Amino acid sequence: MAGNIGQVQVETTTGSLARQKMMDKWAGWLFVLPALLFFSVFVVYPIGYGLFLSLFKINSFNIDERQWVGLENFTKVLADPNFHKALLNTAVFSFFVVTIQTVLALLLAVAVNQKIKGSTFFRTAFFFPSISSSVVISIIFLWVFNQNGLLNYALSTIGVKGPTWVDDPRTALPAIMGLNIWTTAGTMMVLYLAALQDIPAHLYEAAAVDGANPFQRFFRITLPLLTPTTFFVVTLGLIGTFQVFDQAFVISNGSGGPEKSTLTAVFYIYQQAFKETGRMGVAAAGAVVLLVIILTVTLIQRFIFRSEQEY
């Protein structure tokens, strides 16, 4: 009898555990179901739909009317000189912005990380521009780059007659690079600063004792230990700059000009989809090409960073 009572007790506890597990299964689904519903419709489905649409010619006036064209959109987009121009602009933009902002962010982070007065102030000040809207920043910079603007006034004080910046095909893209670096260098600095503060101080003390000078300490200790952060900063930079659009749109007043000098890849895709007739499928194909480029570049740089880390 005594044994029986024990058995019953065991059964009830396992029974309630099993019931709780059963309940959990349903609770789990209930917790995720509403979110998953929207996620499937507005995130997962559009990805597949986007790939699917790149194989069709879509009627601009009746979007539901489409015709299977296979890979024709891809051959069209890859043969379009405007797409080549847009990709070249994007690559140039990306290269200069990512390189300059990464180096600048590292330099600033190392400077803020010294025992100096006002380091919190500097961190906040550098971060601040990244919270404002890209459209607003572009408008403010249009005024800075204006003939009567701040930049050309500053140049005139040292006797240089500034160019017309955004109206000159040679300087329009560099002007947008400048405002992009101005916006994001501070954010990247915050990432570097967090990583710098995690480096144990005893490593530097040991190096100083061994007689390493500040440059050796930077290149032998700081830089190698920051490799994961550099990878992250470069990846974020590449993904962001490869999709630059808002600034180019506002600065060129929606034209991508002068002389297509500010036509970026996303800008091109936008124009194909919404400014040309019957080229929505071409736009979808352009987006797939850009996706492949971004994934490839990210993988290549992951490979480079990994081999460096092994060293």
Site for other proteins in 231-260 (CB under 8 A): 236-237, 239-247, 249-250, 253-254
Nearer to other proteins, 176 or 261 (CB): 176
- Considering only the stretches 78-86, 167-175, 189-197, 220-228, report the one whose residues sit in contact with other proteins under the rule CB under 8 A: 189-197
Is residue 192 a contact residue for other proteins (CB under 8 A)?
no
Is residue 112 a contact residue for other proteins (CB under 8 A)?
yes
Contact between residue 278 and residue 59 where contact means Cβ atoms under 8 Å apart: yes
Question: What 3-state class would DSSP assign to 63?
Answer: coil
The residue within the footprint of other proteins, chosen from 82, 146, 227, 301 (CB under 8 A), is 146
Count of residues that bind other proteins according to CB under 8 A: 108
Distance CA 285, CA 289 (A): 6
CA-wise closest residue to 173 among 99, 255, 260, 253: 260
Question: What 3-state class would DSSP assign to 89?
Answer: helix
Count of residues making up the chain: 311
Strands 66-68, 56-58: parallel, antiparallel or unpaired by DSSP? antiparallel
Distance CA 226, CA 229 (A): 5
Nearer to other proteins, 204 or 305 (CB): 204
Is residue 43 a contact residue for other proteins (CB under 8 A)?
yes
Is residue 295 a contact residue for other proteins (CB under 8 A)?
yes
The residue within the footprint of other proteins, chosen from 156, 216, 296, 309 (CB under 8 A), is 156
Nearer to other proteins, 1 or 209 (CB): 209
Contacts of 188 (CB under 8 A, 6+ apart): 101, 102, 104, 105, 233, 236, 237
Nearer to other proteins, 96 or 245 (CB): 245
CA-wise closest residue to 195 among 241, 220, 232: 232
The residue within the footprint of other proteins, chosen from 190, 199, 221, 297 (CB under 8 A), is 190
Is residue 95 a contact residue for other proteins (CB under 8 A)?
no
CA-wise closest residue to 144 among 171, 175, 169: 175
Distance CA 63, CA 152 (A): 47
Q: What mask, x for binding other proteins by CB under 8 A, covers residues 52 to 91?
A: -x---------xx---------------------------
- Considering only the stretches 6-14, 24-32, 79-87, 159-167, report the one whose residues sit in contact with other proteins under the rule CB under 8 A: 24-32
Nearer to other proteins, 79 or 131 (CB): 131
The residue within the footprint of other proteins, chosen from 78, 91, 100, 142 (CB under 8 A), is 142
- Considering only the stretches 4-12, 23-31, 75-83, 159-167, report the one whose residues sit in contact with other proteins under the rule CB under 8 A: 23-31
What distances in angstroms separate CA 76 from CA 96, 208, 294, one per listed residue?
Answer: 29, 61, 20
Contacts of 185 (CB under 8 A, 6+ apart): 100, 101, 104, 105, 108, 126
The residue within the footprint of other proteins, chosen from 6, 15, 28, 228 (CB under 8 A), is 28
Nearer to other proteins, 71 or 150 (CB): 150
The residue within the footprint of other proteins, chosen from 70, 209, 215, 277 (CB under 8 A), is 209
Distance CA 176, CA 105 (A): 18
CA-wise closest residue to 193 among 104, 103, 110, 102: 110
Q: What mask, x for binding other proteins by CB under 8 A, covers residues 118 to 137?
A: ----xxxxxxxxxxxxxxx-
Q: Which two tokens stand for residue 115?
A: 């025992």
